[in-house]
Amino acid sequence: MPLPYRRLVVKIGSNVLTQPNGLPDLDRLTKLVAQVAALHANGLEVIVVSSGAVAAGRSLLTLPPKTDAVRSRQVLAALGQVKLLGLYAERLATHGLLGAQVLVTKEDFRDRQHYQNMQNCFLELLQQQVVPIVNENDVVAVTELMFTDNDELAGLIAAQLNADALIILSNVDGIFDGDPAAPGSQVIREIAPGATGFADFVTTQRSQFGRGGMLTKCHMAHKVAKLGISVHIANGKTAGILPALLAETAVNTWFRPGKAASGKKKWLAHAQAAAQAVVRVNAGARAALTAAGHASSLLPVGVVAIEGTFQKGDIVRITDDATGQPFALGIAEYGADKALEWLGQQHQRALVHYDYLFLNPDA
């Protein structure tokens, strides 16, 4: 029985779209676009998060070996984005579809209003039967402005658009219970939302052409699944992988979704960099906030200290006072001045309501 998905984010990794010589694999791109078109024809909404711009740029220009690494990436990405979108557009057109380029940076997800504006654009593109092709804007995103990799970006997009599923196409069949090259290692077929320890099996080796690796995929997939979105990690080089995944006939690792989170919690899950200040809480408050199966708000009685300043509606990072470990993000119900006035007091209004509290699954 086909999986009951209606809106998918499909992330296509660099190693899927790149040949061993570092140039684009046009045949594989053609086949993947045909699969996306087939899903679209069956009534599914598909958003593609695609790597490969730098590889596409490399097919157009050879830079001197001594060129600065950051500048080299910027130049190749600037050239390659045009090339890559053209490749997608040409292939989508053969199926009667339009593709739209969406280039983003981390900054685009930090401001709630900006986040919603971008969300509205995506939804209108989908309404108009256009396939969004998303990539990081490598021309302006350098160092601290960069996503860990496009897996992180894909997770953000999936949460932003309330996708039913995120499909990450890599160059392996999924997450293995040991070294994939070792005899006897098998793909872990399913990971529950509350599972722990699975990352112990994962190699920290990065992919040949991408910035990330399987460990970052694990952490991101776990976070997205906790928000109520299915995540599948599969081999993008396998013939017919997308329809096979939906038909449940493909080998893959499935991160089973938890309870669906609200739109604001999905934003908070990826908004660490937007935190305006730190709220330090005592052990009792942490225990109440993290108790399984029980939704609790952060009350002033559990707050030990405020570091920094914030206004109503700002994001604050919540940390354990004893360890200094951050374990949650929340949207403040009032400003820092009132929070300091009520510090440690009972019977005062919640500083962070549980509807606007996101607990870090890795904490």
pLDDT tens across 285-322, in order?
999 999 877 789 999 999 999 999 999 988 899 999 99
Note the pLDDT of residue 363.
54
3-class SS of residue 59: coil
Asked whether residue 51 is marked as a ligand-binding residue, the answer is yes
> In sequence order, what DSSP letters do the residues of 252-283 get, joined into one string?
-EEE---SPPPHHHHHHTT-GGG--EEEEE-H
Task: Compute the Cα dihedral for 303, 306, 312, 317 and give only its sign.
Answer: negative
Chain-centre distance for alpha carbon 345: 38
The answer for residues whose C-beta is within 8 angstroms of residue 351's C-beta and 6 or more apart is 279, 297, 298, 299, 300, 303, 316, 330, 332, 333, 334, 339, 342
Mean pLDDT of successive 10-residue segments in the chain (363 residues)?
A: 87 90 90 97 96 84 81 84 94 97 82 83 96 83 60 90 95 85 86 70 48 70 89 96 96 89 71 80 94 87 94 91 91 94 94 88 58
3-class SS of residue 131: strand
Backbone angles phi, psi at 218, to 5 degrees: -60, -50
Nearest to 149 by CA among 60, 252, 218: 218
CATH architecture of 275-359: Roll (2.30)
If residue 73 lies in a helix (H) or strand (E), which one and from where to where? helix 69-93
C-beta of residue 201 within 8 angstroms of C-beta of residue 188: yes
| 3-to-6, 7, 172, 253, 311 alpha-carbon distances in Å | 9, 11, 22, 15, 43
Note the pLDDT of residue 208.
41
Asked whether residue 150 is marked as a ligand-binding residue, the answer is yes
Domain positions in the chain: 7-266, 275-359
Question: Which class in CATH covers the domain with range 7-266?
Answer: alpha beta
Note the pLDDT of residue 230.
96
Task: Compute the Cα dihedral for 148, 154, 155, 157 and give only its sign.
Answer: positive
DSSP code, position 242: H
Q: How many Å apart are CA 51 and CA 49, to the nearest integer?
A: 7
Note the pLDDT of residue 20.
87
